[in-house]
Amino acid sequence: MLALAVVAARGSGDLWPHLIRYVLPNALVETAWFLLGIGAFVALVGTSTAWLVSLYRFPLHRLLSWALLLPLAMPGYIAAYAYLDILHPVGPLQSSLRAMLGIAHPRGLILPDIRSLGGCVLVMGLVLFPYVYLSARAAFAFQAADAIWAARGLGASGWHLFHRIGIPMARPALAVGISLALMEALNDVGASEFLGVRTLTVSVYVTWLTRGSLEGAAQIALVLVALVIVLLGAERWGRRRYGFVGDATPYDPVALTGARAALATLACALPVILGFLVPVGHLLAKAWERVAAFGLPPGLAGWIGNSAWFAAWAALATVTCGLVLAFAARIAQGGLLLRVGTIGYALPGGVAAVGLIIALGAFDDGLAAVWGWVSSSPLVWTATGSGVTLVLAYIVRFLAIPAAGLDAAYARMSEDYDNAARGLGCLPLRLLRSIHLPALRWPLGVAGLLVFIDAMKELPATLLLRPVNVETLATVLYGEAVRGTYEDGAVAALALVSVAMIAAALLTPLETRIRRRN
């Protein structure tokens, strides 16, 4: 961020008036409506599905509780392309409808254009709602059972139980999930630009790449960071007066029957169908065309290995950093560094990568100067261009996921445990190892899953910072899209989705083990 501020300060005095007059007003309005739509959509879908799978049993319950994670594996830009192709006037949906209705001309049946703000909100919401679903599910599944049973004993049920008991008790986790979804939406470039929505992030790329002004792009990026700080501050202020206590006893789910069971199944199945199965089906059709003609790409195994390797290191390093920050905030009764650490999630990946290139370039120059004083041989290793730089970029981008998730988990954990441990002479490290870590296994697992999947999908930072001659699934997919050979890229897209599905599948046995031990 300091490097971006330095670059922004290099801009001429004419840049800010131009941005304020012609760029920022429209971009801010578009971004505001975009965020409002995304926030409402993910809150509704993520919270309602999490409540249903946590407190009720219905047909396909176990399958759907896992399947609701699958849209996380679908990059927004891939979903946007798939839906644009499917809903195109000559695409499969409208062509089938015209055939059924006996309409010959394409203009005889006109559906709403998905290239719009509403279309972008729908597509992005379908792939982002699992952020809220995961946070809400963790909160609902381990809420104090006695509070829910007491509410039921007093006559609360259905919507009243959900509105008066469930949501207030899970408010920290819901706020975290919605914040993560909004920041991920702010980071998006591909889907927004593809569907005709000019957000602040798209303006950054247009100003930088199209108009050739890195200084102007840095200035818009700083406005974007300021917006995220406001969002995070509003989230913290909104729950400033709320305290959360109680045990972590899971609630015994209630079995649904008849029409209620059918409606619950449909409510949980529809987001999976629209957010995952439909775009994956389109990818399968496109990939089949490529494999039938040319076979599998020869470098596919290497692309998968590179993507999984960098994503695994990113997940391990990022979750460790988030745990350190959250634990420090817990024992010191302050969270300034924790809140600062979440800002990087809002930086567009390419902008964050440029900031790292500038900062690490200066570090390499200083290291080379020091090396020249102590040795006459040239310095072989540099920070820029190495895999370490790429992992560092992932940490900067995704630190908000474990930091915010663990902060919400700590908010639900009574401080009586800490006070009792300190009274018995427990030092901070032992407190973390013996008391906190067993209670934080679920949030840690969720955070690791999210970071792994997001690192697999991250495109701009990977393009700029990956080591020379190293390709990942995301970069291969981007290259094929640029060349217009989308059928070739569909194979890489399916492989990316498949690896992310495996990561999501690990979440269900993790939850089962934690439930048994609790």
CA dihedral 507, 513, 516, 518 (to 10 degrees): -80
Partnered with residue 56 across adjacent β-strands are: 254
CA distance 109 to 112: 10
Phi first, then psi: what are they for 425, rounded to 5°?
Answer: 85, 20
Mind listing the pLDDT tens digit for each residue in 202-239? 777 777 666 667 777 777 777 877 777 777 677 666 55
Instruction: Provide CB contacts within 8 A for 305, sequence distance 6+.
Output: none
**Which of these, 28, 204, 211, 47, lies nearest to 125 by C-alpha position?**
47
User: Is the pLDDT score of 98 beyond 60?
Assistant: yes
Amino acid at 436: H
Taking alpha carbons only, the member of 36, 193, 71 closest to residue 500 is 71
Sequence-separated (6 or more) residues with CB below 8 Å from residue 417: 435
| Cβ count near 19 (within 10 Å) | 20
pLDDT at 253 over 80: no
pLDDT, one tens digit per residue, over 428-480 is 788 787 777 887 887 888 788 889 988 888 877 887 788 878 888 888 877 77
Q: What is the mean pLDDT of residues 12-19?
A: 67
3-state secondary structure of 257: coil
Q: Report pLDDT digits (tens) over 159-199.
A: 667 777 777 777 777 887 888 788 788 777 777 877 888 88
Per-residue confidence at 317, pLDDT binned at 50, 70, 90? very high
Domain containing residue 292: 2-517
- For residue 155, is it left (φ>0), alpha (ψ between -120 and 50) or beta? left
Output the pTM of the full model: 0.76
Q: By CB neighbour count within 10 A (0-12 exposed, 13-18 middle, 19+ buried), where does 371 fall?
A: middle
Confidence of residue 518 (pLDDT cuts 50, 70, 90): very low
Burial 264-293 (b: 16+ CB within 10 A, else e): bbeebbebbebbbebbbebbeebbeebeee
Mean pLDDT score of the chain: 78
Top pLDDT among 390 and 175 is at 390
237 burial (CB, 10 Å; 0-12 / 13-18 / 19+) is: exposed
> Do the beta carbons of residue 312 and residue 441 sit within 8 Å?
no
- Check if the beta carbon of residue 495 is closer than 8 Å to that of residue 473: yes
Residue 510 has pLDDT above 60, yes or no: no
Q: Is 488's pLDDT higher than 70?
A: no
3-state helix, strand, coil in the chain (%, to 5): 80, 0, 20
Closest CA to 41 of 116, 118, 141, 113: 118
| CA–CA separation, 93 and 80 (whole Å) | 15
Selected residue with higher pLDDT from 289 and 314: 314
Candidate from 31-40, 300-309, 323-332, 505-514 with smallest mean pLDDT: 505-514
CATH code of the domain containing 272: 1.10.3720.10
Could you give the CA distance from residue 506 to residue 444 in angstroms, rounded to a whole number? Answer: 13
Look at residues 362, 311, 32 and name the one whose alpha carbon lies nearest to residue 198: 32
Provide the 3-class DSSP secondary structure of residue 398. helix
How do residues 276-289 score in pLDDT, each as one tens digit?
999 988 888 888 88
Q: Which residues contact 64 (CB under 8 A, 6 or more apart)?
A: 53, 265, 268, 269, 272
Distance between CA atoms of 164 and 151, rounded to whole angstroms? 9
**Residue 403: per-residue pLDDT:** 85
User: What's the structural domain count of the chain?
Assistant: 1
* Dihedral sign, Cα of residue 177, residue 179, residue 180, residue 184: positive
Q: How open is the CA angle 384-203-481, to the nearest 5 degrees? A: 65
Q: How far is 115 from 193, CA to CA, in rounded Å?
A: 9
Which residue in the block uniquely carries the two structure tokens 């950093």?
A: 321
Question: Residue 295 has what pLDDT?
Answer: 79
Could you give the CA distance from residue 214 to residue 399 in angstroms, rounded to a whole number?
25
Tokens read off for 382: 């540099």
Distance between CA atoms of residues 79 and 123, nearest Å: 7
Mean predicted confidence (pLDDT) in 312-330 = 90
